[in-house]
Amino acid sequence: EPEVTQTPSHQVTQMGQEVILRCVPISNHLYFYWYRQILGQKVEFLVSFYNNEISEKSEIFDDQFSVERPDGSNFTLKIRSTKLEDSAMYFCASTNLGNTIYFGEGSWLTVV
């Protein structure tokens, strides 16, 4: 069974620090997404990719986030100057539309 993997599973960081989260999608998938979910709240869209190009970004994305694909396979989500309210689970997903969407197990970020 293929899987999407995310690292780290948990991270604690001080307010104002930069954080990098990593995701390895399924290798032949063309669609890729980052979401976050503050504990007990709704799932919040961050950014999507199609075929290595950003497809859509949320309103908050450009303020604080950037995404790279440094080696053509892994994705990194960088959060600049973290705030307390960035404490959340960040999860990625990949798919070829019409097929199963594979979600990672998420990276829990706690900003203190």
Residues within the interface to another protein (CB under 8 A): 33, 35, 37, 39, 42-43, 45, 48, 50, 55-56, 89, 91, 93, 95, 97-98, 100-106
CB of 69 to another protein, least distance (A): 18
Dist CA 51 CA 44 (whole Å): 22
Nearer to another protein, 76 or 102 (CB): 102
Complete DSSP assignment for 21-75: EEEE--TT--EEEEEEE-TTS-EEEEEEEETTEEEEE-TTHHHHEEEE-TTSS-E
Nearer to another protein, 28 or 70 (CB): 28
Nearer to another protein, 69 or 103 (CB): 103
CB of 16 to another protein, least distance (A): 25
